[in-house]
């Protein structure tokens, strides 16, 4: 084998190994793993569970929120008495959002931040906001509507 061919082949193998190592990050699962939900899956689950209690209204802090894993919904309270909900799967790579702080919904995978008021992107890399989910307060519970 020629030295030039050997170096090209070795470079491809090393490049592939570097890409594989760099692509595995964080604890959250990317979209292409079988166990990860897509935003469409989460929205489908949200619409079939209409009326199901998600959280106690008293557990959702003003300026903060509560993340429900199943269905993947984040419930926020941007201002006192105003409850909003969004699909809790980041559109960028399919990670479950991790927290709501100072009216910002945060994705732990790559740092995308979304508005707790309307789900809009505040900081990327996500280019798309969180999909809204309808909620109402019934009997002290936040439920899907």
Q: What is the pLDDT of residue 100?
A: 96
Q: What is the pLDDT of residue 51?
A: 72
Judge if the upstream peptide bond of residue 71 is cis by omega within 30 degrees of 0: yes
Q: How far apart are CA 20 and CA 134, in angstroms?
A: 39
Domain 27-144, second-level architecture: 3-layer Sandwich (2.102)
| Residues 6 or more apart whose Cβ sits within 8 Å of residue 50 | 144, 145
Profile the chain (145 residues) by mean pLDDT over runs of 10 residues: 46 38 38 38 43 89 94 96 96 93 95 96 94 94 92
What's the angle, vertex CA 134, arms to CA 117 and CA 69, rounded to 5? 85
Q: pTM of the full predicted structure? A: 0.66
Q: What is the pLDDT of residue 50?
A: 61
Q: Are 77 and 60 in contact (CB under 8 A)?
A: yes
Other Cβ atoms closer than 10 A to 5? 9
Q: What is the pLDDT of residue 122?
A: 96
Q: What is the pLDDT of residue 58?
A: 94
Q: What is the pLDDT of residue 18?
A: 35
Q: What is the pLDDT of residue 88?
A: 95
What residues does each domain of the chain span?
27-144
Per-position DSSP letters for 48-79, written without gaps between them: HTTT-EEEEGGGS-TT-EEEETTTTEEEEEEE
């Amino acid at each position: 084998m020629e030295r030039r061919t050997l170096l090209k082949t070795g470079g491809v193998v090393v490049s592939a190994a570097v890409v594989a190592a760099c692509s595995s990050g964080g604890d959250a699962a990317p979209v292409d793993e079988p166990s990860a939900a897509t935003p469409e899956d989460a929205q489908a689950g949200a619409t079939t569970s209409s009326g199901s209690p998600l959280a106690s209204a008293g557990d959702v802090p003003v300026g903060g929120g509560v993340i429900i894993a199943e269905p993947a919904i984040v419930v926020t309270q941007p201002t006192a008495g105003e409850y909003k909900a969004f699909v809790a799967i980041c559109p960028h790579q399919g990670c479950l959002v991790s927290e709501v702080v100072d009216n910002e919904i945060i994705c732990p995978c790559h740092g995308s931040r979304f508005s707790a008021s309307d789900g809009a992107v505040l900081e990327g890399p996500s280019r798309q906001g969180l999909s809204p989910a309808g909620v109402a307060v019934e009997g002290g519970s936040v439920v899907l509507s």
